[in-house]
Amino acid sequence: MTLGEVLLVATLAVPLVTLVLALSSGSHRRTTILLVLAAIPALLTALFAESGTTVVLPQALLSLVLSLDLPGRLLLGAAALLWIATGAYAVLSRRGRENDNPFPIWWLATMTGSFGVFIVADLVGFYLFFTLVSLSAYWLVVDDGAPPAKRAGAVYVSFALLSEAFLLLAFVLLAVATRNDSFLIRDAVAAISTSPLRDPAMAFLVLGFGIKIGLVPFHVWMPLTYASASIPVAAVLSGATVKAGVIGLIRFLPFGVPLPGWGETLTALGFVSAFYGVLIGITQTNPRTILAYSSVSQMGLIAAVLGMGLATGNSITPAAAAFYAMFHILAKGGLFLAIGVAQKTRHRTEWTVLLPAAVVVLGFGGFPMTGGAIAKYAIKSPLGDGDVAMLAMVSAAASTLLMLHFLRCLRASRSHETRTTSAAEQSFIWLAIVVAVVALPWALYPAVIQASAHDALSFDALWKATWPVLIGVLLFGVLGRAPRILPMIPPGDIIVLQSWAWSGAKALGDATERIDEYLRRWSIAGSLLLVVTLALIGSFYVGR
């Protein structure tokens, strides 16, 4: 086995072994630090294993095929960084609660799933890790036990299950379309573009992954979940686990062959989300909710990029989208930590939080020299030069607006807090992430896009990157001065329909119960038995 292969296996094996340790260990004081250590092999894999490293595990391990490619590597590395950082943050913030057993277990399980989806190359394996990351996260969401968390958990798990269901259908279609016994995602994707099952498979894929990345109208779980989970949990959910959907789209959409129709659909869905997220986001005042809507918007942008790539057959798309997603992992995860740090920071040192936050925030608009700038530059090629590129610029302006709004609310929320606990260690973690957010994209750009980062520093590029931010700032200024003209929209916006859907479901359930009571009466059941008999006799005469 080469080092790369060992690392690849260790990426999943180490968290799993740690999981078993955490399950069996009586004292949890020692295992908490393992939360951090368990993510290190993933980082090492991203750094040192070469793209193309493949391991086929034996039958006893479900014949999983692990394989590292460029998009997977980018996401794995960034996710590993985030898991390490938030793991450390969680350990620090949960001091004194180490014996709270379930948390480390679900943390590790979610982390394993999160890493797994980036490096697994077969259908069943992907489904396995996708399920693991989605369902384990439920326990992280409800960990706090408060009623909002319970409600958020219920909504979260409903959508997670729904997405699982769509994906199961999609994967089965892919497997059937592949015909030969290969369960490799690569073979399935190659087969699907010419298969008669293409359209349903694509639809289920887009639905399944769309729910995971919170495409409108499947985004409602995001604001609820991110607002009520604990800080480190919200950080990994928004940063790392949501990327399971991104890698899913990257892996399963047949890039390289132009697939019009589906590409445009995905692009349209993406932009709807991108703008919808901002629109609702600016009406919110809770910084976490704002970040959640920003996620809706950003994931919409990534979906649009992927959609354009699909429509045009642009083969750079997967790498570009992954590159952007990598930025988002660190930036969004980091901002959630910032919320946590801000709440614990003394008034006079608040600039230590707000200033770095401003750097990250401006990145969302693609302000020059930020990590976001180069990330946005990377997705230019798939987006093309036409109207779509224009839309992307507008969305950058909108993002700037939203993120500035976030910054303001962050500060506002901070000033209400009178807590004076020292958060030096947490601040350090947060600052480290900020460095990564800025430095990593610039460092990795040449390797990922196969082009020099200097292009992004040309005057033309700089100008194109700057004006959306300026517009955003302008808009923010206008909105900020204006009295409160924005409507009050509850977090989760269309979740208010839930009560309506709920009463509908309840009525349906009541009806089912009444029917059951009726059917289970003796005389009814007896008569039905005769009906079934006669129907069966009749059915034998049909189709002979």
What phi, psi does 65 have (nearest 5°)? -115, 120
The residue range among 26-34, 155-163, 333-341, 411-419 that interacts with another protein, by the rule CB under 8 A, is 155-163
Q: Which two tokens stand for residue 305?
A: 């990029």
Q: Which of 24, 450, 499, 539 binds another protein (CB under 8 A)?
A: 539
Q: Which of 127, 252, 255, 323 binds another protein (CB under 8 A)?
A: 127
Bridge partner list, 67: 54
In 10 A of CB 352, how many CB atoms? 18
> Could you write out the DSSP letters of every residue in 193-255?
TTSTTHHHHHHHHHHHHHHHTT-TTS-THHHHHHHHS-HHHHHHIIIIITHHHHHHHHHHS-T
Asked if residue 513 binds another protein (CB under 8 A), the reply is yes
Minimum CB–partner distance for residue 544 and another protein (Å) = 6
Minimum CB–partner distance for residue 119 and another protein (Å) = 17
Q: Which of 25, 54, 158, 193 binds another protein (CB under 8 A)?
A: 158
The residue range among 9-17, 171-179, 270-278, 493-501 that interacts with another protein, by the rule CB under 8 A, is 171-179
| Contact positions with another protein (CB under 8 A) in 360-389 | none
| Contact positions with another protein (CB under 8 A) in 302-331 | none
The residue range among 49-57, 70-78, 131-139, 418-426 that interacts with another protein, by the rule CB under 8 A, is 131-139
| Contact positions with another protein (CB under 8 A) in 191-220 | 197
The residue range among 41-49, 130-138, 236-244, 303-311 that interacts with another protein, by the rule CB under 8 A, is 130-138
Could you tell me if 250 and 306 are in contact, meaning their C-beta atoms sit under 8 angstroms apart? yes
CA–CA gap between residue 533 and residue 373 (Å, rounded): 71
The residue range among 154-162, 187-195, 254-262, 423-431 that interacts with another protein, by the rule CB under 8 A, is 154-162
In 10 A of CB 12, how many CB atoms? 25
Tell me the CA end-to-end span of the chain in Å, nearest whole number. 60
Q: Which of 13, 40, 161, 358 binds another protein (CB under 8 A)?
A: 161
- The H or E element containing residue 281 is helix 262-281
Nearest residue (CB) to another protein, 192 versus 397: 192
The residue range among 80-88, 167-175, 421-429, 442-450 that interacts with another protein, by the rule CB under 8 A, is 167-175
| Contact positions with another protein (CB under 8 A) in 17-76 | 59-60, 62-63
Q: Is 54 helix (H, G, I), strand (E, B) or coil?
A: strand
Minimum CB–partner distance for residue 183 and another protein (Å) = 7
- Identity (one letter) of the amino acid at 222? M
| Residues 6+ positions from 211 with CB-CB distance below 8 Å | 159, 160, 162, 163, 166, 218, 245
73-112 in b/e form (b: 16+ CB < 10 A) is bbbbbbbbbbbbbbbbbbbbbbeeebeeeebbbbbbbbbb
Minimum CB–partner distance for residue 172 and another protein (Å) = 4
Residues that bind another protein (CB under 8 A): 59-60, 62-63, 101-102, 124, 127-128, 131, 135, 138-139, 142, 145, 149-150, 153-154, 157-158, 161-162, 164-165, 168-169, 172-173, 175-176, 181, 183, 197, 508-509, 512-513, 515-517, 519-537, 539-544
